[in-house]
Amino acid sequence: MHRTMPGETPIPTPLLCPTCRKPVEAGNPELPFCSDRCRVIDLGKWASGEYRISSPIFDPELLDELEQRRTAATDDPEASGAASTEYEDKRYKN
Ligand SMILES: [Zn+2]
């Protein structure tokens, strides 16, 4: 249940353009970007692999670590369960 009290001013959510960090108006058709130019720049970054945070599974170090844990905990169900929990934690922190 949500009621807007009389006289209550709705607080606008601050939206920042992911490319240039300028505030973006809520009604902007290019959301979440401030302009078509910034949208294109952002797409270019994704295409060139500059953004790697979204795909931690491709981090060679992490894959190596997981492989080592799997190998170490082959016949120990408790250990392998702990390893998978730690992996989940890592993903959320990243
Ligand atoms: Zn922008």
In the reported structure, the alpha carbon of residue 59 is separated from the centroid of ligand 1 by a whole-number distance in angstroms of 29
Q: Is the pLDDT of residue 31 over 60?
A: yes
Cα–Cα distances (Å) from 93 to 25, 63, 75, 90, in that order, read: 30, 16, 29, 5
Q: Is the pLDDT of residue 42 over 80?
A: yes
Angle between helices 60-72 and 77-93 (to 10 degrees): 160
pLDDT attached to residue 45: 81
**Cα 17 to Cα 30: distance, rounded to the nearest angstrom:** 10
pLDDT attached to residue 68: 85
Contact between 42 and 19 under an 8 Å Cβ cutoff? The reply is yes
pLDDT attached to residue 19: 92
In the reported structure, the alpha carbon of residue 52 is separated from the centroid of ligand 1 by a whole-number distance in angstroms of 20
In the reported structure, the alpha carbon of residue 44 is separated from the centroid of ligand 1 by a whole-number distance in angstroms of 14
**Cα 85 to Cα 58: distance, rounded to the nearest angstrom:** 19
Give percent of the chain with pLDDT exceeding 70: 52
